[in-house]
Structure 1
Amino acid sequence: MKLAYKERIAGRLTLVTSLIILAVFGIIYLVANVTVVNSIDRELGLETDKHRNQIFLVNGEIRFLHKDEWQEMEHSQIQLNPIFIEIVDLEGNSMDRSPNLRTNHLSFSPEKSARKEAWTLRIGASEVRQMQIPLVNAGKHEGYLLLAKSFEDSRELLDNLRNVLLILYPGVLLSLFLTMRYLAGKSIEPIRQIISKTNRITQSNLNERVPLVEPNDEIGQLTRSINELLERLEASLNREKQFTSDASHELRTPLSVLRGTLEVLIRKPRTSEEYVEKIKSAFSSIDRMSATIDQLLALAREEKGKFSVKEELELITFLEEITDQIASEQKRVISFQCEASAPIFVKANEQSLQMILSNLIQNAVKYSGTDQEIQVKTGTHNSIPYIEICDAGSGISPEHLGKIFDPFFREKDAINRSVPGTGLGLAIVKKLALESGIRIKVASEKGKGSTFRLELPDS
């Protein structure tokens, strides 16, 4: 079963926090243990220093500075905080011990005496902390003094601390998880609101947006990103609706003309000349539909990314070939001018660039007189390769410059003059240019001609 997002957040935070708390509890126990042990070792050190000056070994015999000190009650019975003492020779054989040891003996470890190191051991049923020091008389090593202190109370304290920490740990974890779960739920509440709002947005109300509550945090960034996505979707949908409407209109007109022509033909017998004339009119409508469909297919191919693969291209040679080809097909004077002194290499898709130039040059041919020359120029400006297509034709009105790349847009003047076209050529140019990273600039003056400038990305 997949957990909810807030459960996963709470689980992860609790896991990390539990590890931190476990480390803190461990450090607490370790510090307490070290503190207690150091305290006992310090007391043992004081006791050894005190007894070092009171007990001597002289020729294998024990001598006391103060006999009464050796006979104190703390050495003779097991009490709340007893001290255990034993004197051994160099081989570890017991020479004397405090009565509270009874039949037990302390541990003999000569290697630890030089370091004055303490260690823990058990004497019977009791746990003690022991230290061992050498006994020296007149510079001669005679034996060892073994001294121990009860560790029972300290062990009980440490065990109680450990048990309290172990009991507290699961309770703290449970409290942490419930708190993290609540806080995680409160934290993702804005996301729930965004989800609820976006689920209510459909194609019919695509103009609605997600309310922006906290604009400067991550939730605000997510909200802005979703709203920007909705804006792009709405604009794309509106373009698709407009495109479908325009395409239907453009195809309906020649179909209506074709249907009307055929209906006129079947109403009554006609002369051969009339049949030829009407059939030519029908062919004209079919040609217009074919051109529209070809352009629509070109748009569809571009949107599928067919022209996305780029390769290195030598621009001057490429433009010379394109210019000669179109001039030959259109039977028009199209001059090519290179303003660069060295070859120009660019990264571009050859088919894409060829379609862009073909559409722009054919537009220049359509909107220019037969005696007007069309120029194709290339060169570099600030290391950026460019192509210019210049004509001295009818030009474009200033108010229409921003619309010429819209699908199916045509100036009324062009329609009235029966200039052939579908209004899709420049739309294809714009899409292909965006796909290739080419910047398009247009300069035009009504009645004096137009210049389309393409700035290509530098290879």
Structure 2
Amino acid sequence: MKKLAYKERIAGRLTLVTSGIILVVFGIIYLVANYTVVSNIDRELGLETDKHKDQIFLVNGDIRFLHMDEWQEMEHSQIQLNPIFIEIVDLEGKSMDRSPNLRENHLSFSPEKSEQKEAVTLKIGASEVRQMQIPLFNEGKHEGYLLLAKSFEDSRELLNNLRNVLLILYPGILLSLFLTMRYLAGKSIEPIQEIIRKTNQITQSNLNERVPVAEPNDEIGQLTRSINELLERLESALNREKQFTSDASHELRTPLSVLRGTLEVLIRKPRTSEEYVEKIKASFASIDRMSATIDQLLALAREEKGKNLIKEELELITFLEEITDQSAKDLHRKISFRCESGVPVFVKANEKSLQMILSNLIQNAVKYSGTQSEILVKTGLQEGLPYIEICDEGMGISPEHLEKIFDPFFREKEVVDRSIAGTGLGLAIVKKLALESGIKISVSSKKGKGSVFRLDFPLS
């Protein structure tokens, strides 16, 4: 079964809901009209009963009229547009007198309705009437009943016509409503169709294009902005991927070219043993550089998988003292530790992940600092939140490069010119690990005066 178009589903749902509302409204209209018509007739019957109850008396079973001429007036004698039917009955309900316009018919007698002065709708022969009855008293003695009725034929015809009109209008209104809703729904989703058309045109080759925002403040505008933001993230990720691939190829191609050139030089002619040793050492250096690059690439790829790290509670002071001492021994540099908190500092973190972050930051600090400069690792609490800072007095980072240093393979030109060893992947790994661990990493630096890398931990 073919699924209906979205605009038709919208139109169908709106029409279904509106049809119920219209049905209720039509019902209310009919009930109000019925109530108004019946109330008007009952009011007229009430006026008639009030007029006649003081003019008709039963005296020892005989009927007396205060104004005989009103009893014999035309509306009681003939069946006309709005005739009034009157009948007088005794306590047993036997007819004592009636208006000539009743002919051979009698009004319905119900003693229980007399006290309430309640009107009812009933049939007199082939005609429908609205009837009311009241008790007749003579000197406080209950002598009989006065029954009055008014024709309900015209009112019934009016109500039936109203009902038929509403029943005829109802399907017509529903059909026109569905077609209108369908048209309006189609117009309403035109911006969405335009978004679909535009996004279908965007491919990898033109990922820089964006969907035009027609109405920025409505839901369609919000959807358009969300799609554009998604496209920006995709474009940025694709560009980073391209740059990463290019940089990785370059980093691996360079030592391979050096290694190939060195080996070609070796086989051109016989060399002395010293020359062989020198070229082999150069080859080993190229191999070591490629190995380091590959190891860093593998580490970065593992972190990009976004695996969930198991976190455990760590006491930072003891943890950092051990890392600082071990790094000082391994790197043969003076690395100091300072705690700026008078109480133990606890964090929730993955121990191996945090160790790798700190090792990379400390190695960077040593690499880009003079041999006599001191590296300082410190921890403490700021506004109740733990932090770690790695401070150096090295060459510093240019302000325009502070946001780029965490990009894979990024290295400042000055660093490359000085032939400082490195792959440009260490800080990228640090950034990935920090994000995975929920640690905020920031850096402040002054060119020629050193840098401070700061790790801020979330509340445990």
Q: Partner residue of 1:133?
A: 134
Question: Matched residues in 2 for 1:261 and 1:135: separation?
Answer: 136
User: Secondary structure in 2 aligned to 1:184?
Assistant: helix
Say whether residues 1:10 and 2:23 are aligned partners.
no
Query: Counterpart amino acid of 2:287?
Result: I
Q: Is the alpha carbon distance of 1:58 and 1:345 closer, same or farther for their aligned partners in structure 2, counting shifts above 3 Å?
A: farther
Q: Partner residue of 2:61?
A: 60
Question: Matched residues in 1 for 2:110 and 2:339: separation?
Answer: 101
Q: Cα offset for 1:205? A: 1.2
Say whether residues 1:303 and 2:304 are aligned partners.
yes
Question: Matched residues in 2 for 1:288 and 1:375: separation?
Answer: 28
Q: Is the alpha carbon distance of 1:279 and 1:95 closer, same or farther for their aligned partners in structure 2, counting shifts above 3 Å?
A: farther
Deviations along 1:84-117, one digit per CA (max 9) or x if unpaired, are 2222233333333334334433222223222211
Equivalent pair of 1:388/1:451 in contact (CA under 8 Å): yes
Which stretch of structure 1 is more off in the superposition, 5-14 or 430-439?
430-439
Question: Matched residues in 2 for 1:437 and 1:368: separation?
Answer: 29
User: Secondary structure in 2 aligned to 1:409?
Assistant: coil
Question: Matched residues in 2 for 1:161 and 1:6: separation?
Answer: 34
Counting only pairs closer than 5 Å after superposition, residues 332-411 of structure 1 correspond to structure 2 as 332-411=333-412
Query: What is the Cα-based RMSD across aligned positions, in Å?
Result: 2.6
User: Secondary structure in 1 aligned to 2:4?
Assistant: coil
Q: Cα offset for 1:3? A: 1.9
Structure 1, gaps ≥5 residues long: none
Q: Partner residue of 2:444?
A: 443
Question: Matched residues in 1 for 2:133 and 2:295: separation?
Answer: 105
Which stretch of structure 1 is more off in the superposition, 8-17 or 267-276?
267-276
Question: Matched residues in 2 for 1:350 and 1:120: separation?
Answer: 91
Question: Matched residues in 2 for 1:217 and 1:398: separation?
Answer: 40
Question: Matched residues in 1 for 2:93 and 2:302: separation?
Answer: 100
Q: Partner residue of 2:28?
A: 27
Q: Partner residue of 1:234?
A: 235
Q: Cα offset for 1:443? A: 3.2
* Identity, % of aligned positions: 85
Equivalent pair of 1:307/1:351 in contact (CA under 8 Å): no
Q: Partner residue of 2:416?
A: 415
Q: Cα offset for 1:189? A: 2.0
Q: Cα offset for 1:436? A: 3.9
Deviations along 1:341-372, one digit per CA (max 9) or x if unpaired, are 11223344444322221110111222334444
Say whether residues 1:95 and 2:129 are aligned partners.
no
Q: Partner residue of 1:247?
A: 248
Equivalent pair of 1:389/1:453 in contact (CA under 8 Å): yes
Query: Counterpart amino acid of 2:164?
Result: N
Q: Partner residue of 2:220?
A: 219
Q: Partner residue of 2:327?
A: 326
Deviations along 1:57-95, one digit per CA (max 9) or x if unpaired, are 222332222334334443344333222222223333333
Q: Is the alpha carbon distance of 1:397 and 1:145 closer, same or farther for their aligned partners in structure 2, counting shifts above 3 Å?
A: closer
Query: Counterpart amino acid of 1:208?
Result: E
Deviations along 1:315-339, one digit per CA (max 9) or x if unpaired, are 3233223323333433433221100
Equivalent pair of 1:214/1:220 in contact (CA under 8 Å): yes
Question: Matched residues in 2 for 1:112 and 1:291: separation?
Answer: 108
Q: Is the alpha carbon distance of 1:412 and 1:82 closer, same or farther for their aligned partners in structure 2, counting shifts above 3 Å?
A: closer
Query: Counterpart amino acid of 1:235?
Result: S
Q: Cα offset for 1:30? A: 1.3
Q: Cα offset for 1:149? A: 1.0
Q: Cα offset for 1:274? A: 6.0
User: Secondary structure in 2 aligned to 1:131?
Assistant: strand
Structure 2, gaps ≥5 residues long: none
Question: Matched residues in 2 for 1:22 and 1:173: separation?
Answer: 10
Q: Is the alpha carbon distance of 1:241 and 1:111 closer, same or farther for their aligned partners in structure 2, counting shifts above 3 Å?
A: same
Q: Is the alpha carbon distance of 1:399 and 1:33 closer, same or farther for their aligned partners in structure 2, counting shifts above 3 Å?
A: closer
Q: Is the alpha carbon distance of 1:69 and 1:451 closer, same or farther for their aligned partners in structure 2, counting shifts above 3 Å?
A: closer
Q: Is the alpha carbon distance of 1:180 and 1:399 closer, same or farther for their aligned partners in structure 2, counting shifts above 3 Å?
A: closer
Q: Cα offset for 1:223? A: 2.5
Query: Counterpart amino acid of 1:458?
Result: L
User: Secondary structure in 2 aligned to 1:253?
Assistant: helix
Question: Matched residues in 2 for 1:124 and 1:328: separation?
Answer: 121
Deviations along 1:158-205, one digit per CA (max 9) or x if unpaired, are 000110111111111222222222222222222222222221111111
Query: Counterpart amino acid of 1:414?
Result: V
Q: Partner residue of 1:109?
A: 110
Question: Matched residues in 2 for 1:399 and 1:164: separation?
Answer: 79
Question: Matched residues in 2 for 1:298 and 1:103: separation?
Answer: 111
Question: Matched residues in 2 for 1:217 and 1:446: separation?
Answer: 47
Which stretch of structure 1 is more off in the superposition, 227-236 or 393-402?
393-402
User: Secondary structure in 2 aligned to 1:209?
Assistant: coil
Query: Counterpart amino acid of 2:404?
Result: K
Counting only pairs closer than 5 Å after superposition, residues 421-440 of structure 1 correspond to structure 2 as 421-440=422-441
User: Secondary structure in 1 aligned to 2:423?
Assistant: coil
User: Secondary structure in 2 aligned to 1:167?
Assistant: helix
Deviations along 1:286-325, one digit per CA (max 9) or x if unpaired, are 3322322222222222222225555544332332233233
Equivalent pair of 1:307/1:349 in contact (CA under 8 Å): no
Q: Partner residue of 1:70?
A: 71
Q: TM-score, normalised by structure 1?
A: 0.90
Question: Matched residues in 2 for 1:122 and 1:303: separation?
Answer: 89
Q: TM-score, normalised by structure 2?
A: 0.90
Equivalent pair of 1:121/1:128 in contact (CA under 8 Å): yes
Which stretch of structure 1 is more off in the superposition, 52-61 or 441-450?
441-450
User: Secondary structure in 2 aligned to 1:443?
Assistant: strand
Q: Partner residue of 1:150?
A: 151
Question: Matched residues in 2 for 1:305 and 1:69: separation?
Answer: 103
Q: Cα offset for 1:43? A: 0.9
Which stretch of structure 1 is more off in the superposition, 380-389 or 232-241?
380-389
